[in-house]
Amino acid sequence: MEQATTFCIIRHGETDWNAIGKLQGREDISLNNNGLRQAEDLANFFYTSNFDCIVSSSLQRAFQTAQIISKKISVPLYIEPLLVERCWGDASGLTFEERKRNFPDGIIPNQEEFEHMQARAMSAIYSIHSRWMNKRIIVVSHGALINSILHSVSHGEFGSFTTRLANACISLLQFNSDNWNVLYYNKSYKELQEQG
C-alpha cells in the first residue's frame, strides 16, 4: 500500500474575541478558560494516537493549544510562521454587524488578499510534507487559513466561502503522489469519539 503524509489540522481553542464574535487576525490573543479546556480535551482525545510531531502557528492561541497537546502526547512541537492567520486589515477587532456597517461594499482596506493567504497556507503545508514525508503530523492554525487549505484541496467544494470552522475542530487529510484525500473536516472531538 502506498504511503501518505497525514495532516491532522486543528483550529485553535476559543479566545475572548471568538466568544463575542470579533474578527481576529494577527492580534496575538491568548486562549480563554473555555479555550484552555478545549485544548485539554483535544490532548486527551489524542492521548492514545500515534503522531510524529506537532507544527503550529506562532500566534499564542494556536501555540497554547499545540503546547497542551504536545505535552500530553509527548511529541516535539515546531513553529511554522506561514501558518499565522489572515491579516484582516481595517476589519480586525470588529463584529459582523460592525463590519457590515463600516464596509457595506465588502471591500476592506489593508486586508491580506485571499489568493496570497491561500498560497502561503499551501506553501506551509507542502513544506511540512517535504520535511516529514509519510509521517503523521498535527497542524494547529486558524479558521481562515485552514479553510483556505480545505478550499484548495477540495477544489472549492468546501472550505473558504462555504464552511464555518468551529474552535478546536479537527480536519484529517492525507497526501500522496500529488493527490489529496480529505477523510473528514470540521469535526469536534466529541463527534469523533461518538463515531468510535
Which positions are annotated as active-site residues?
12, 85
Q: 112 — phi, psi (to 5°)? A: -65, 130
**Burial class of residue 36, CB neighbours in 10 A (0-12, 13-18, 19+):** middle
From residue 188, how far is each of 18, 26, 79, 116, 171 by CA, in Å? Answer: 17, 25, 24, 28, 9
Give Rg (Cα) of the chain.
16
